[in-house]
Chain A
Amino acid sequence: MSQQQAQKLAFTLLWGAASLTVLILTVILGYILVQGLPQVSWEFLTKEPTEMGRSGGIFSSIVGTLYFVAASLILAAPLGIGAGIYLAEYTHDGWFTSLVRFGIDALAAVPSIVFGLFGYALFVVALKPVTHGWSILSGAFTAACMVLPTLIRTSEEALRAVPQEYREGSLALGATRWQTVVRVVLPAAAPGILTGVILSIGRVVGETAALLLTLGGSLRLPRSIFEPARTMALHLYLVAMEVGAMDKAFGTAAVLVITVLGVNLLATWLTRRHLMRLLR
């Protein structure tokens, strides 16, 4: 076989692999949407589930998801962005940043079920007076720990992308470091930081394993963050595995997939717009 033929064969295989990757995505998305979308109706979205989720809709899990996502991000975003600011603006590479980066990498590598065990021991059991045991708050604390790496990395990157001249200009005008960060650097980096927050929302909405041990899984409509609840992802799992109502599981999966992909598309769109503005 000549080198030209070998190259032709190899490139054909590479094209095949890339096509297969696209095909896999198409099959999964197509299958979930074809099976799930016929289940989705106005009633499905606005009615509460009955008979353990065998009939009725998913309203309570939609509300649960909203409460849970909001609580997680309110807890995690200030910490994550603050850590990003410190790493980008207040310190130089040294042993401290190595330690912090190791912590971030390690945290990103911890399996979500281990976060679940941790969240159960700390937030559900030890901090019961604060979180009321299994509750949206316990789940949100746990999820907040999980999305910190994403938040810290994206905010640090967004801040580092701000041109050095901005800082120099502000400092030269007599502004303090904090004033420079808050009034000049943060606004310039805001779209990038927002992208990180939106990516975290996508991650939290799809999370399940950690919530199995912390959120309580109640089917009832939650009235506060101190009550147990379930998110759409948890509802999907419980309905498919414990109730066996596959029609409802597919309906939930379709809504969940559309939500998560919508959120991710929003993040991509924001990043692209931000990049265009920086390049202009």
Chain B
Amino acid sequence: MRRAVFERGSEVALFLAALIAVVIIVLIGTFILIEGLPAFERTGLLNFLLGHEWRPLQGVFGIFPMIVGSIAVTAVALAVGVPLGLATAIFLAEIAPPRAERLVRPAVELLAGIPSVVYGLFGMTMLVPIIRALAQTWLGASLDPQFRAGYSVLAAGLVLAIMILPTIINIAEDVLRAQPLEYKEGSLALGATHWQTIACVLLPAARPGIVAAIVLAMGRAIGETMAVIMVAGNTPVLPQSLFSPVRTLTSNIALEMPYAGPGAHSQALYATGVVLFGLTMVVNLAALLVSRRRVKRG
């Protein structure tokens, strides 16, 4: 009898543990919504999302520059990181000799392990000075002086490109390896070269999975905070060029929350968090849908 009670009790406890992730997601959504809603009410949803001015001291809260900023740095990160990551994944899945594989694979693992503040420190003391030198010499004449500091969309995008490499490489390689061997054999038997097989058979077959990898990498780039703060310059103004300083949604929260008093200012920061939360949930759902389509088709 006692044993039966114990069996049942342990199962209920484990069931509750399994629910914890769902409970926390709901709690996160609820808490930031409750804290952020007054800001939407006060400013108006559209004014908040599309307002160009962010002046907390005057009580003016528009996060349009930060939305554009997040999109801009993410776009640069994908433009650089996707080709490089995809090529490395193809290399690992298709042509790497074992010795090269033993070098590249741990390198990817190590890249994934480096903390984001360390990427930030690297970007701040290495990439930013390089971009500054570039902006002051080669492009000096054509650039507005305020764009010559090196802290820029470009710096943030490049740091993010490095940070999303492991995500892209690991998922894309898995997807490429998961393709049925017959595809490859059929193509090679028809006299196609190995590269033709990769480009015309394997990559198209793996496309949904690769798209899912890119979408997940995008989510990671949108959500990254510390590395971006350290290299982006953080001016809450619409970015004009690759060399403009930029503030993202994540940095907006991290920069101002530590000193924002309770009331309108911190509510506006929570509202920024709501937008960010919504954005990442949409991205995550998109990745889920893309990979589910793969399952159905396969």
- Chain A contacts to B: CB under 8 angstroms: 3-4, 6-7, 10-11, 13-18, 20-22, 24-26, 28-29, 31-32, 35, 78-80, 82-83, 85-87, 90-91, 99-100, 102-107, 109-118, 120-122, 145, 148-149, 152, 176-178, 202, 205-209, 212-213, 217, 233, 236-237, 240-241, 246, 249-250, 253, 256-257, 260-261, 264, 268
Asked, given contacts A18-B96, A111-B223, whether A178 binds B281 with beta carbons under 8 Å apart, the answer is no
| Closest-CB distance, B198 to chain A (whole angstroms) | 8
Contact with A along B258-283 (1 / 0, CB 8 A): 10000000000110010011001101
Q: Of the 9-residue stretches B44-52, B57-65, B111-119, which lies at the interface with chain A?
A: B111-119
Cα–Cα distance between A257 and B113 once the two chains are bound (Å): 9
Cα–Cα distance between A109 and B287 once the two chains are bound (Å): 11
Check: B211 CB closer than 8 A to any chain A CB.
no
Cα–Cα distance between A212 and B258 once the two chains are bound (Å): 7
* B199–A10 CB distance below 8 A: yes
Check: B134 CB closer than 8 A to any chain A CB.
no
* B122–A32 CB distance below 8 A: yes
Check: B126 CB closer than 8 A to any chain A CB.
yes
Which residues of the partner chain B approach A26 to less than 8 Å between Cβ atoms?
107
Q: Is the interface of A mostly helix, strand, loop or mixed?
A: helix
Give the nearest-CB partner of A205 in chain B.
Answer: B115
* B27–A118 CB distance below 8 A: yes
26 contacts between A and B (CB under 8 A): A3-B196, A15-B91, A17-B91, A21-B85, A22-B103, A31-B126, A32-B122, A83-B17, A90-B15, A99-B22, A105-B288, A107-B25, A111-B223, A114-B32, A114-B223, A117-B31, A152-B21, A208-B115, A208-B225, A212-B254, A212-B257, A237-B120, A240-B121, A240-B230, A260-B115, A264-B113
Asked, given contacts A3-B193, A28-B114, whether A237 binds B87 with beta carbons under 8 Å apart, the answer is no
* B121–A105 CB distance below 8 A: no
Cα–Cα distance between A135 and B165 once the two chains are bound (Å): 34
Choose one: B6, B21, B109, B162; the contact of A24 (CB below 8 Å).
B162
* A117–B269 CB distance below 8 A: yes
Asked, given contacts A15-B91, A18-B96, whether A115 binds B118 with beta carbons under 8 Å apart, the answer is no
- Top 6 closest A-B pairs, CB basis? A206-B115, A111-B223, A82-B17, A17-B87, A103-B22, A7-B195
Asked, given contacts A113-B253, A177-B7, whether A236 binds B121 with beta carbons under 8 Å apart, the answer is yes
| Closest-CB distance, B143 to chain A (whole angstroms) | 25
Which residues of the partner chain B approach A106 to less than 8 Å between Cβ atoms?
21, 25, 281, 284
Choose one: A17, A85, A107, A249; the contact of B24 (CB below 8 Å).
A107
Cα–Cα distance between A145 and B264 once the two chains are bound (Å): 27
> Interface range on chain B: under 10, 10 to 19, 20 to 34, or 35 or more?
35 or more
Give the nearest-CB partner of A236 in chain B.
Answer: B117
Which residues of the partner chain A approach B118 to less than 8 Å between Cβ atoms?
28, 32, 206, 236, 253, 256-257
* A113–B31 CB distance below 8 A: no
* A260–B100 CB distance below 8 A: no
Contact with A along B159-172 (1 / 0, CB 8 A): 00010010001000
* A233–B21 CB distance below 8 A: no
Contact with A along B14-34 (1 / 0, CB 8 A): 110111111111011001101
| Closest-CB distance, B204 to chain A (whole angstroms) | 16
B213-251 CB contacts (< 8 Å) to partner A: 216, 219, 222-226, 229-230, 250
* B254–A113 CB distance below 8 A: yes
* Centre residue among B20, B103, B121, B165 by max chain A CB count within 10 A: B121
* B20–A79 CB distance below 8 A: yes
* B104–A83 CB distance below 8 A: no
Check: B39 CB closer than 8 A to any chain A CB.
no
Asked, given contacts A14-B91, A120-B257, A209-B226, whether A87 binds B18 with beta carbons under 8 Å apart, the answer is yes
Check: B110 CB closer than 8 A to any chain A CB.
yes
Check: B152 CB closer than 8 A to any chain A CB.
no
| Closest-CB distance, B96 to chain A (whole angstroms) | 7
Cα–Cα distance between A111 and B92 once the two chains are bound (Å): 29
Cα–Cα distance between A148 and B196 once the two chains are bound (Å): 43
| Closest-CB distance, B174 to chain A (whole angstroms) | 14
Which residues of the partner chain A approach B225 to less than 8 Å between Cβ atoms?
111-113, 208-209
* A241–B17 CB distance below 8 A: no
Which residues of the partner chain A approach B273 to less than 8 Å between Cβ atoms?
113-114, 117
* B84–A17 CB distance below 8 A: yes
Give the nearest-CB partner of B34 in chain A.
Answer: A121
Contacts beyond the supplied A26-B107, A241-B230: 8 A-B pairs with Cβ under 8 Å: A21-B169, A82-B18, A90-B15, A105-B288, A107-B25, A202-B113, A209-B254, A213-B257
Check: B181 CB closer than 8 A to any chain A CB.
no
Cα–Cα distance between A10 and B108 once the two chains are bound (Å): 21
Give the nearest-CB partner of B281 in chain A.
Answer: A106
Which residues of the partner chain B approach A18 to less than 8 Å between Cβ atoms?
87-88, 91-92, 96, 100, 104
Which residues of the partner chain A approach B14 to less than 8 Å between Cβ atoms?
82-83, 85-86, 90
Give the nearest-CB partner of B196 in chain A.
Answer: A3
Asked, given contacts A152-B21, A261-B110, whether A14 binds B87 with beta carbons under 8 Å apart, the answer is yes
* A21–B88 CB distance below 8 A: yes
* A148–B21 CB distance below 8 A: yes
B72-93 CB contacts (< 8 Å) to partner A: 83-85, 87-88, 90-92
Cα–Cα distance between A82 and B28 once the two chains are bound (Å): 21
Choose one: B84, B162, B283; the contact of A109 (CB below 8 Å).
B283
